[in-house]
Structures are given as C-alpha cells and as structure tokens.
Amino acid sequence: MLNRLKHNFAGQGFAALILLLAISGQLAAQQMPYGQGILWKIQAPSGGGGGFLFGTLHSTDPIVTTLPAPVKQAFARARSLAVEVVMTKDMPVRMARRMMLQPPQSLDRIAGAELFARLASVGQRMGFPLQTLRRLKPWAASAAISIPPGERTGQAAGLLPLDQVLQHAATQRGIPVHGLESVDEQLDLMDGLPPGDQIKLLRQAIDDSGRISKFVAIMKKFYLARDLNGLFAWMRRQAAGEDPRLAQIFQDRMINARNRIMATRMVARLNKGGAFVAVGAAHLPGREGVLSLLAQQGYRLSRIY
C-alpha cells in the first residue's frame, strides 16, 4: 500500500487538489493584478540582486515540462533555484504516512457508508484497493481521486512534473536548490482542516471526479496561453453553487497564507542575485499574490513571458 501511495503522491495529488478546489476563491473581479504572464524579471529595491519568478503547472505533460525559449534562457542564467518544496528520496514515504489514519480509525466509519461507497466506486476505477481507501484521511482521499488519468500514466512512465524537472536540471548543473516551504508545513495545512470540512472536500472531489480530465485540459490551455485572468475566471464559473465558505477557507489557507510565507522566504534568494524561483502559477496573480507582495516591498517587476 505504501508503494501505491508513494507512486501517486509525489506532489501530484496535493497539487491537483489545490488547483481544482482552492483557486476558485480568487478575486471576484474579472481582472486581477499580474493576471497575464508566467515569467517575470524581479529587480531588488537596492538595484542589486534579483532574478526571475516563474509560475509552474504541476504536470508531467511534455507540453508543459518543455520550457519555452524565454524561460529556458532565464533558467540557464540562474545561479540558484528555489521551488515550493525540494523533493527528496524519503519525501514520498513521509507524505504517505501523514496521509493515513491511525488505527482503529477508518475512513468508512468517518465518512459514513453512503459517501464511502461512492468513494470506493471512484477509487477502484483508479486502481486503489478498498483497504487503502479505508486508511486514508478524508483530505488525502480527496487528493487521491483528484489525480487525472493522464498524470497517473505519466508518473507510471517515469515522467517528472515541471517543478521536479527544474530541480533535476539544477542538480545536474550543480547549482543549489532551495525550498520555500517544507512538506510538513504543507501537510499541516491539510491536517488542520476541521473534520467536517474535510468530509465536504471529499464529497466535492467525488462529485468532480468524472470531470477531472476535462478540467485539467482546460487549465493547461489557459496556462500555455499565459492567461491567468482567464484561468481564474473559468474556475470561478466552475465553482458556482459550491460551498463559498469552503472555497474561502482554501483561498486563505492554501493560497494567501502560503503566498506570504513564500514571498518572505524568496527575498533572501532574490537579494543574493541570480535566482530562479519557480512556484505554482496560482500563487502569482492577485492583490495577495506573490508578485503583488514583492511589489509592495519595493521590488521592480517586468513581465518577460
């Protein structure tokens, strides 16, 4: 069971869940600051230091992981790389353990017979044994079924998501790789959700499971067009009728709070100069996005791509 979880949760289930369920709470307005572009040049207030900030999509699809020329050129100039979380060999096992309930707890008892039966139907189509599903925490089960089939196929073929492609390339070049968060910090945010909200999250993920591939395909289209305004507007339309309180909780916990942490921690990398910072594209735009937070600190931002 651990091997199954390790294969599916090397950052992908968590990222898919964030993209599909969190960003719908973004700004109500149709336009947001820094809503166009995924590569930005960052200049420090002092005039020295700086680097580039790149918005990623957590995907193994070669159309995403093949860097466009402007991004490739900026990355080639980097003297360091900063990513959300540095992937280490032991991380998948650590993540899998954090996702499991402690005996005698079981998800079928927590979620109830009706909801667990629906989860079992979805999960078994994806290859998750019933015993595995019973041991997952509600939020972890949501993440499990939020991994689109194309991503599972890519992972099985040994493909890396974009963030890990960059980390691997930086390691091969011999430049340091820094994490802006720890995996435990990320998982603490999910573990800290009240049990009732985790169950609501699971129900929503089950409801959306049949549309996951379509959702991801549309997100890729907006991402490749570098149209974050369009992406967020589309996600808001998809979220119509969903629990607005839960969407706001996710926005506050999974986007805004993490934006503040990452913006604070990337300052050291930017001030040193030669930095290439890569975070999920959902963290870039908006009044509380990373780009706005850097601008408020006096950094000068120029859209490159």
Using N-to-C axis directions, what is the helix angle for 149-156 and 12-21, rounded to 10°? 160
Q: Where are the beta strands (DSSP E) in 180-283?
A: 275-280
Supply 272's token pair. Answer: 């040193």
Q: Where are the beta strands (DSSP E) in the chain?
A: 39-43, 51-56, 80-83, 177-179, 275-280, 300-303
Does the pLDDT value for residue 4 go beyond 90? no
Bridge partners of 53? 40, 277
What is the pTM assigned to this prediction? 0.91
Using alpha carbons, select from 182, 251, 190, 249 the residue that is nearest to residue 23: 251
**pLDDT tens per residue, range 70-118:** 999 999 999 999 999 999 999 989 999 999 999 999 999 999 999 999 9
Who wins on pLDDT, 156 or 244? 156
Confidence of residue 30 (pLDDT cuts 50, 70, 90): low
- Residue 41, strand partner residues: 52, 302
